[in-house]
Every structure is written in structure tokens, then in C-alpha cells.
């Protein structure tokens, strides 16, 4: 341990209450980026982040975009050594809170809940995704500066306010600010630990193709008593198409879907097998027992290295209380494909649209709407920065940090690679039960506390 690290970690411990107060201040701002009604709150959260970074000594500024603002901050104070210049990425916007009635307390009134087992839980929308996560890094910087008056390495911070609404302004912003943002390495804090005792670095990310399809049959809603039988029902049509998307073995049936998909190196796969994760371990906590993906793949493969198709939503006809014998004119489904490195997102989109169109009976018509198409990504398992971060995490948590795949997609990592030529190291302290897109989102106090300590170590070690 370097001579200054121990007092920095002590500083983290002794100022944890103030760190928590700052997190709660930010969580109280309902920065829901996807809902225009909250635009002022999103802006207020960005302002808060600028002030917070400035209070540490960063040169921080708010940058307008056609959508919500970006926050960019540079450490222009002294650094320990000429080491890699890192760009830290996080996002200050949050998911919507529907259905609000399922929250046990108001989502934007954060609180600490103490459990019988001694654990303490931070409750509120954004405590985990991503306000709590990105503040672990900011607070680690604050501790270094407080103790030493400097940071170990050169650090810039880049916070987005549109991550939960598809990042519409991201790509143009990176291009326009290429020289300012292209660093040696990106650090991203928006991923999970392996479990609450085992830290993890995420090395593969699945891409995402989001499609909305509306199937229309009659030119208006019909009374099923007067037309039922002869009139084509779009819900019947779409059910058949959606049921066809998987075969009996759980594989996706889109022609060409698995083209370009690669197997991970044998040693990486065997390390995953060594984890000994059973389907029951993974699925039990959410009330399931049997993996629903490709039958000949392990749960970890289904999650990390195999692309998937999911139906994220469907609505058609009368869905309220009671019953209405309507024969609807339309039905709409939202379908997404999680992609792995090697798949072409636009080819998948085209294959899906052709798949649907070919299955439409006479009198049925489909309209498609794109909700984005981003590729999967695999970062090198062997980069020095990744191995350094792995060692620092292992030291902090007292258990070997795993290098894992990510099920979710963090599109910005692809943007960093393509637009700024920059690799990312993804370290995060979320847990699978954080309910990050659901009611009652939480973040373990332990994740927050040891997360700050972890970043303090990584910054010192890089």
C-alpha cells in the first residue's frame, strides 16, 4: 500500500455520513430523463453535479445539447505522477417510477433501512442506477484531494443525463468534443458485482436492437359479436409471430441471427464453469428455477456470450377492468434483441422485420419503429489496466475479483471505442437484487462505502 492510501481510506470511512448526505441530496432530484415533464429536474441534477465536482476542485461545466445537458469536469490541480489520463463516465438521470403504487416509500425521498442481519440499505430511485454508483468514484476523488491535496493520476469526469432514454445526444457530443474527451482509458461505474461478497469487472457487453411493431388488420375496432369469426384478429396474428421467435430448444429463429457470434476463449469459459453457478442459484431469488434460453448453454453463457430475443411489452384491445367484446384493429409489441460482439445490429433489425412481414396473413399489415440498434462489445481480457483494477478490487474485498460478462448493454462503451478510440474498464458495485428499473430500487450501504474505497485504491494503483 502506498504511504498515502491508508489515510485516504480512513478519510473515506470517517466522512461516510457526509458522502451519504450528498447522495441523498442528488436522489431527491427526480431526474427522469424519458419524461419531458421532468426536464427541469434533470437540469437541476446536472447543476448539482457541476457544483459537487467544483467543490472538490474540478473545473466543471454544464454543456447544453439538443436534449438534456452533459456534465464535463477536468482535474487541473496537481497529480502524483504522469500516468494514464482517465475519463470517468456515469449518468445522473434515472428511470421512471411507474407503477408508483408498488413503492413502499416515495421514490425520491431516500432513506436508510437497517436489516436484522446488520446490513444497511439505501432506498430510492437512483440510489444504485446510477447516482450511487457514479458518486463512489467522485467521493473517492474527494477523499484523495482532502488528504493529499492532489489526485494520483489525471482524471476527467463525463456525466450523461440521457442514459435511461436512449442517449440521443451522446454520439454527436463525443464527435464535437473529441479532443477534450479522448483520454487513455475510460472508467465506467454502471455494472454489478458478482455477488455481495465478490467484486467483478465486466469485460463483455451485449448490444441492443429495440423494435416496436404494430400489426393492423381491420380499419377500426369491431364488435366481436358482429364480426368475430370472419374478421382477422391482430392479437392472434402477432401471437403466432412472437411464438415463432424461439424454437423448442430456446434458440432464436431469425435467419442469420447467430452469424458472427464467437465462443469465448476456452480458459475464460472454464473459469466461468469453475464458479459453479447453478440455475437455481441464479434464478431462485426471482422465483424461477429453469433457464429459458438455449438448452445446450449454461446460465452464464446464456447471459454473457449468447444473443437473445425478448418481448418487453405488448398491448392491444381492451385491457382495463371488466370485459369488452372488442375485436381490436391493432396490437403493438416491443421486442428487443441483446447482441454479442460480432453480430451486425442492422442485419438483425432487417431480419426481424422480414421475419414478421413474411408471416403476416393477407389483410394484416405491420408498421415498425426503431428504438435503437447498437452492437455488442468485448474488451480485452488482458489489458494492464483491467488487471490492475482486478488486483485493487481483490485487495479491498478480500476475495478474488471475477472478470465477467455483462447481460445489460452500456452503449457508451461502444461509443468510446469507436468514436474516441478508447478502451473502458467497467467496475461497479450494484447487486442483482437492486431492482434498478423496478419499484423499490435500493443500493447496499456496503456497496457505496466499499465502492468508494475500491475506487480510491484503483486510482492509487493505476
Residues numbered 14 to 33 that lie near its own copies (CB under 8 A) are none
Q: Is the dihedral of CA 340, 343, 348, 349 positive or negative?
A: positive
- Whichever of 275 and 279 has its CB closer to its own copies, that residue is 279
The answer for residues whose C-beta is within 8 angstroms of residue 358's C-beta and 6 or more apart is none
Query: From CA 412, how far away is CA 263, in angstroms rounded?
Result: 24
Query: From CA 462, how far away is CA 459, in angstroms rounded?
Result: 6
When asked if residue 361 is in the footprint of its own copies (CB under 8 A), the reply is yes
Report 37-96 residues binding its own copies (CB under 8 A): 95-96
Q: Would you give the end-to-end CA distance of the chain in angstroms? A: 13
Binding segment toward its own copies, per CB under 8 A, in 217-225, 259-267, 374-382, 421-429: 217-225
CB of 99 to its own copies, least distance (A): 9
- Whichever of 373 and 386 has its CB closer to its own copies, that residue is 373
Figure out which of the listed residues 239, 383, 388, 446 binds its own copies, where binding follows CB under 8 A: 239
Of the candidates 118, 188, 95, the one whose C-alpha atom is nearest the C-alpha of residue 415 is: 188
- Whichever of 21 and 310 has its CB closer to its own copies, that residue is 310
Assign residue 198 a region (left: φ > 0; alpha: ψ between -120 and 50; beta: otherwise): beta
CB of 299 to its own copies, least distance (A): 5
Query: From CA 210, how far away is CA 302, in angstroms rounded?
Result: 19
- Whichever of 47 and 221 has its CB closer to its own copies, that residue is 221
Figure out which of the listed residues 132, 316, 376, 451 binds its own copies, where binding follows CB under 8 A: 316
CB of 309 to its own copies, least distance (A): 9
Figure out which of the listed residues 166, 260, 342, 345 binds its own copies, where binding follows CB under 8 A: 166
Q: Are strands 402-406 and 200-205 parallel, antiparallel or unpaired?
A: parallel
Question: Around 95, how many Cα atoms within 13 Å sit in the side-chain half-sphere?
Answer: 19
Adjacent-strand bridge partners of 424: 186
Report 375-434 residues binding its own copies (CB under 8 A): 406-409, 432
Q: Is the dihedral of CA 440, 444, 447, 448 positive or negative?
A: positive
Report 320-339 residues binding its own copies (CB under 8 A): 320, 322-328, 331-334, 336, 338
When asked if residue 100 is in the footprint of its own copies (CB under 8 A), the reply is no
The verdict on whether omega for the bond into residue 99 sits within 30 degrees of 0, i.e. cis, is yes
Report 183-212 residues binding its own copies (CB under 8 A): 192, 206, 208, 210, 212
Cα dihedral 112→392→189→282 (10° resolution): -70
Binding segment toward its own copies, per CB under 8 A, in 7-15, 73-81, 244-252, 453-461: 244-252
Total binding residues toward its own copies, as defined by CB under 8 A: 92
- Whichever of 7 and 96 has its CB closer to its own copies, that residue is 96
- Whichever of 75 and 337 has its CB closer to its own copies, that residue is 337
Amino acid at each position: 500500500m502506498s504511504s498515502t492510501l491508508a489515510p485516504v481510506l480512513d478519510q473515506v470511512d470517517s466522512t461516510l455520513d457526509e458522502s451519504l448526505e450528498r447522495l441523498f441530496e442528488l436522489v431527491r432530484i427526480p431526474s427522469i430523463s424519458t419524461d419531458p415533464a421532468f426536464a427541469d429536474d434533470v437540469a437541476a441534477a446536472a447543476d448539482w453535479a457541476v457544483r459537487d465536482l467544483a467543490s472538490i476542485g474540478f473545473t466543471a461545466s454544464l454543456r447544453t445539447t439538443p436534449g438534456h445537458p452533459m456534465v464535463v469536469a477536468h482535474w487541473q490541480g496537481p497529480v502524483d505522477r504522469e500516468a494514464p489520463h482517465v475519463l470517468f463516465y456515469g449518468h445522473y438521470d434515472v428511470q421512471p417510477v411507474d407503477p408508483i403504487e408498488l413503492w413502499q416509500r416515495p421514490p425520491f425521498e431516500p432513506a436508510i433501512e437497517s436489516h436484522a442481519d446488520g446490513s444497511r440499505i439505501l432506498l430510492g430511485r437512483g440510489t444504485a442506477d446510477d447516482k450511487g454508483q457514479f458518486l463512489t468514484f467522485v467521493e473517492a476523488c474527494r477523499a484523495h484531494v482532502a488528504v493529499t491535496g492532489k489526485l494520483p493520476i489525471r482524471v476527467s469526469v463525463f456525466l450523461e443525463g440521457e442514459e435511461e432514454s436512449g442517449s440521443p445526444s451522446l454520439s454527436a457530443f463525443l464527435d464535437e468534443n473529441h479532443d477534450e474527451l479522448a483520454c487513455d482509458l475510460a472508467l465506467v461505474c454502471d455494472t454489478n458485482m458478482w455477488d455481495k461478497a465478490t467484486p467483478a469487472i465486466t469485460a463483455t457487453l451485449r448490444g441492443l436492437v429495440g423494435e416496436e411493431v404494430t400489426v393492423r388488420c381491420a380499419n377500426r375496432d369491431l364488435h366481436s359479436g358482429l364480426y368475430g369469426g370472419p374478421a382477422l384478429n391482430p392479437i392472434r396474428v402477432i401471437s403466432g409471430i412472437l411464438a415463432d421467435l424461439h424454437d423448442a430448444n430456446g434458440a432464436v429463429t431469425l435467419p442469420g441471427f447467430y452469424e458472427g457470434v464467437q465462443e469465448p476463449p476456452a480458459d475464460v469459459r472454464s473459469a466461468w464453469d469453475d464458479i459453479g453457478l447453478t440455475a437455481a442459484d441464479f434464478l431462485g431469488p426471482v422465483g424461477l428455477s429453469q433457464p429459458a434460453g438455449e438448452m445446450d448453454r449454461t446460465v452464464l453463457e446464456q447471459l454473457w456470450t449468447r444473443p437473445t430475443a425478448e418481448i418487453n411489452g405488448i398491448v392491444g384491445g381492451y385491457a382495463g377492468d371488466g370485459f369488452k367484446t372488442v375485436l381490436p384493429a391493432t396490437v403493438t409489441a416491443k421486442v428487443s434483441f441483446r447482441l454479442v460482439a460480432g453480430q451486425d445490429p442492422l442485419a438483425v433489425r432487417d431480419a426481424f422485420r422480414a421475419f414478421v412481414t413474411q408471416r403476416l396473413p393477407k389483410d394484416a399489415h405491420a408498421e415498425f419503429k426503431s428504438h435503437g440498434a447498437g452492437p455488442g462489445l468485448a474488451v480485452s481480457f488482458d489489458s494492464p489496466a483491467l488487471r490492475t483494477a482486478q488486483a485493487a478490487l481483490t485487495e479491498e474485498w478480500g476475495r478474488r475479483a471475477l472478470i465477467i460478462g455483462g447481460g445489460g448493454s452500456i452503449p457508451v462503451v461502444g461509443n468510446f471505442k469507436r468514436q474516441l478510440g478508447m478502451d473502458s474498464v467497467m467496475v461497479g458495485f450494484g447487486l442483482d437484487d437492486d431492482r434498478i428499473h423496478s419499484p423499490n430500487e435500493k443500493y447496499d450501504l456496503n456497496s457505496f462505502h466499499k465502492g468508494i474505497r475500491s475506487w480510491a485504491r484503483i486510482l492509487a494503483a493505476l
